[in-house]
Chain A
């Protein structure tokens, strides 16, 4: 059932997202466009030792949109992304000033439990990193250790379907995850993340280790996912940001230069530095 079938370039055989039965307790709001931005930073500064990787960044991430963060290498976009689910805690010497709010709560205040935060904010990494276990166990492990009550098999199937991987692996769920190709492994990592039914999905250059066809499939996937999840995507590929995101933020040398609707950023950027970067004059 392909509506957009006048695309001879690549097959459009990605099935539509089946509606997921999300328990009411896991969702804060049920309105389609909640007024409070789901993530918000306020003068956020992150330092590794004496080097300031992120300087005084204030921005918002809207719910159920794809927000892309672009910028040259070393501009701090991955650091900013990792701050959102407190994965910077695992980098030695990282210190954070300023505030980062998730659904109104400052996640860096004393006493806040980062483990619980990561139940709601999932992450997909640059290089696919499935566990050295079977495909099934990869997807099922997260929910299992968090006391999932319900049918694990159904959850695994649902997550794999949402990640557009089910048809390819349904006959070999108990094979090793390492037997899959790079693009399939990355989709498995996405399935693993969304099996936790998070509110927000953080993606750190998810396609940079993949070939163009695998990249295209994952971009299609992100497009479908945004109807249910808030996605924050870091990418160094500007065309990808342009294709996939609704809002784009441009960072340079740790500072947030400009943020706005993607179409506006790419046709009529307000800042000269943004203009120079997107037209390839530097970076």
Chain B
């Protein structure tokens, strides 16, 4: 099979070889990232695996006795923090997104708010810690409580929730809204009955990803003054607390190698919470991509 002679010099072999070379290089480069992650996981796994016992989960940390130390307080602290963060950031974030996307008139003001929120999403988390310290711990007199910590984390993830929710809402095609308006619906009826339900999977994905970021944060909690050695489980939002990242940090800081193994176990636990969360978020997103019909 020959192409019309004379006018083209296609050099197909050469082009194919270049394509293959570039594809191989991209594959290798992406493997490097996976490779490092794999090495990290394997090292941590080997170091902490034996310490990951049921008593590890049910015991309190002990300064003197590494064999008996457990992560119970940090685990419960993290769960409490997550609860407060969700309760605050989810409604506020979604409501803000609904307002900005559906009700605010497009113009200077809306664009200004949008720019600011995008910037806030990139502010280092330690800055949120300082903010939380000043506002929640001191000014509102909440002390170093779960409530203060949860509110701070909520502020931290709020921009992410707002942005993700706005994108989910914007992803609902305008034709559905127009169809609702043409039936004599008000704007709110349209949003409540059609836009929000259709955007829900996207919003959930955004919230889960935001939460997984919040769970892994240590810096703002340190600033807030969360304790690193806590031998009790918080029983209410005003109690003092600690969190998984903090406990891990505390153990790594000790000189004894037994504590390092405990830290490794803590890391495995943390990853064991975060990775499934991310997987669920991605799964929801993929399912939604397949199922939506527009």
The answer to whether A and B touch in the complex, with CB atoms under 8 Å apart, is yes
A→B interface (CB under 8 Å): 85, 87, 90, 92, 115-116, 118-119, 122-123, 125, 127, 129-132, 141-142, 145-146, 176, 178, 189, 192-193, 196
Please, how many angstroms separate the alpha-carbon atoms of A122 and B106 in the complex? 27
Inside 8 A of B287's CB, which chain A residues have their CB? Answer: none
Interface secondary structure of B, over-half rule: helix
Please, how many angstroms separate the alpha-carbon atoms of A142 and B193 in the complex? 11
B289 at the interface (CB under 8 A from A): no
**A129 & B179 in contact (Cβ 8 Å cutoff):** yes
Inside 8 A of A141's CB, which chain B residues have their CB? Answer: 180, 183, 193
* CB-CB nearest in chain B for A141: B193
**B184 & A131 in contact (Cβ 8 Å cutoff):** no
B194 at the interface (CB under 8 A from A): yes
Please, how many angstroms separate the alpha-carbon atoms of A154 and B169 in the complex? 34
How many chain B residues touch A (CB < 8 A): the figure is 22
Q: A129-B176, A178-B293 are known contacts. Are A115 and B186 too (CB-CB below 8 A)?
A: yes
Please, how many angstroms separate the alpha-carbon atoms of A145 and B184 in the complex? 9
**A123 & B185 in contact (Cβ 8 Å cutoff):** no
* CB-CB nearest in chain A for B107: A92
Inside 8 A of B181's CB, which chain A residues have their CB? Answer: 87, 90, 118
**A145 & B189 in contact (Cβ 8 Å cutoff):** yes
**B176 & A193 in contact (Cβ 8 Å cutoff):** no
Inside 8 A of A116's CB, which chain B residues have their CB? Answer: 184
**B194 & A193 in contact (Cβ 8 Å cutoff):** no
Inside 8 A of B197's CB, which chain A residues have their CB? Answer: 132
**A118 & B176 in contact (Cβ 8 Å cutoff):** no
List, sorted by A's number, 18 A–B pairs whose CB atoms are closer than 8 Å. A87-B181, A90-B177, A115-B184, A118-B182, A118-B183, A118-B184, A123-B182, A132-B198, A132-B292, A132-B293, A142-B184, A145-B185, A146-B184, A176-B293, A178-B293, A193-B182, A196-B183, A196-B184
* CB-CB nearest in chain A for B194: A131
B119 at the interface (CB under 8 A from A): no
Pick the contact of A122: B177, B178, B183, B194 (CB < 8 A). B183
Inside 8 A of B20's CB, which chain A residues have their CB? Answer: none
**A193 & B175 in contact (Cβ 8 Å cutoff):** no
**Per-residue CB proximity of B190-221 to A under 8 Å, as 1/0?**
00011001100000000000000000000000
* CB-CB nearest in chain A for B177: A90
**B106 & A129 in contact (Cβ 8 Å cutoff):** no
Please, how many angstroms separate the alpha-carbon atoms of A141 and B293 in the complex? 20
Inside 8 A of B184's CB, which chain A residues have their CB? Answer: 115-116, 118-119, 142, 145-146, 196
Please, how many angstroms separate the alpha-carbon atoms of A176 and B294 in the complex? 13
* CB-CB nearest in chain B for A119: B184
Inside 8 A of B173's CB, which chain A residues have their CB? Answer: 129
**B176 & A122 in contact (Cβ 8 Å cutoff):** no
Give B61 Cβ to nearest chain A Cβ, in Å: 50
**B182 & A132 in contact (Cβ 8 Å cutoff):** no
Inside 8 A of A142's CB, which chain B residues have their CB? Answer: 183-185
Please, how many angstroms separate the alpha-carbon atoms of A193 and B294 in the complex? 21
Pick the contact of A131: B106, B179, B186, B292 (CB < 8 A). B179
**A193 & B178 in contact (Cβ 8 Å cutoff):** no
Inside 8 A of A132's CB, which chain B residues have their CB? Answer: 176, 194, 197-198, 292-294
Inside 8 A of B294's CB, which chain A residues have their CB? Answer: 132
Find the residue from B180, B181, B194, B294 having the highest chain A CB count within 10 A.
B181
Find the residue from A125, A131, A189 having the highest chain B CB count within 10 A.
A131
Task: List B residues 258-280 near A (Cβ within 8 Å).
Answer: none
Inside 8 A of A87's CB, which chain B residues have their CB? Answer: 178, 181-182
Please, how many angstroms separate the alpha-carbon atoms of A181 and B200 in the complex? 26
* CB-CB nearest in chain A for B187: A115
Give A129 Cβ to nearest chain B Cβ, in Å: 4
* CB-CB nearest in chain B for A185: B293
**B194 & A129 in contact (Cβ 8 Å cutoff):** no
Find the residue from A85, A118, A192, A196 having the highest chain B CB count within 10 A.
A118
Inside 8 A of B182's CB, which chain A residues have their CB? Answer: 85, 87, 118, 122-123, 125, 193
Inside 8 A of B176's CB, which chain A residues have their CB? Answer: 129, 131-132
10 tightest A-B contacts by CB? Answer: A142-B183, A178-B293, A119-B184, A129-B175, A123-B182, A118-B184, A129-B179, A145-B189, A132-B198, A115-B184
Inside 8 A of A130's CB, which chain B residues have their CB? Answer: 179
Beyond the given A115-B186, A129-B179, A196-B184, could you list 8 further A-B residue pairs with CB under 8 A, ordered by the A residue number? A85-B182, A115-B185, A125-B178, A125-B179, A132-B198, A132-B294, A146-B184, A192-B183
Inside 8 A of B293's CB, which chain A residues have their CB? Answer: 132, 176, 178
**B183 & A127 in contact (Cβ 8 Å cutoff):** no
